[in-house]
């Protein structure tokens, strides 16, 4: 069974830090690019950060650049999001996402998996 389980969310004061974790199982984690998304009340889900399957390249939304760091440990099937200097506008449910390809017959098929999300609340 494919699973992505987020943890590490909570309530933090303005300027504080949190580290989110996403534990993966049921698929070949090292073959998948991993991302963090977030969704605030009444707003669309937005991409926060991306890391390639081997961890060599990362990209960030402008709103979090310089404050957030995405990383992964393929030996532990886990992706992380270190969040520093948190602001009230960072308040949202944060979701883990996996995208990759799996063999199917003579070709490949795309796969996408989502976690259930973890709440991050930053007080003003």
β-bridge pairing 33-39 and 58-60: unpaired
**Residue 59 and residue 90: Cα distance in Å, rounded?**
17
The DSSP symbol for 53 reads T
Give the pLDDT score at 89: 96
**Residue 113 and residue 35: Cα distance in Å, rounded?**
10
Give the pLDDT score at 102: 87
DSSP string, 53-120: TTS--EEE-TTTTTTEEEEEETTTTEEEEEE-S--GGG-EEEEEEEEEEEEETTEEEEEEEE---EEE
Residue 24 in contact with residue 79, Cβ under 8 Å? Answer: yes
Q: What is the pLDDT of residues 27-36, one digit of tens each?
A: 999 999 999 9
Q: What is the pLDDT of residues 78-113, one digit of tens each?
A: 999 999 999 999 999 999 999 999 888 999 999 999
Q: SS3 for 59?
A: strand
């Amino acid at each position: 069974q494919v699973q992505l389980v987020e943890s590490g969310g909570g309530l933090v004061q303005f300027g504080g830090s949190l580290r989110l974790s996403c534990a993966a199982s049921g698929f070949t984690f090292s073959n998948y690019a991993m991302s963090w998304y977030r969704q605030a009340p009444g707003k669309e889900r937005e991409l926060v950060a991306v890391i390639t399957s081997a961890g060599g390249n990362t990209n960030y939304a402008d709103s979090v650049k310089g404050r957030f760091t995405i990383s992964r440990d393929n030996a532990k099937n886990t992706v992380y999001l270190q969040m520093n200097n948190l602001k009230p506008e960072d308040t949202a449910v944060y979701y883990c996402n996996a995208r990759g390809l799996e063999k199917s017959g003579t070709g490949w098929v795309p796969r996408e998996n989502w976690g259930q999300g973890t709440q991050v609340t930053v007080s003003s």
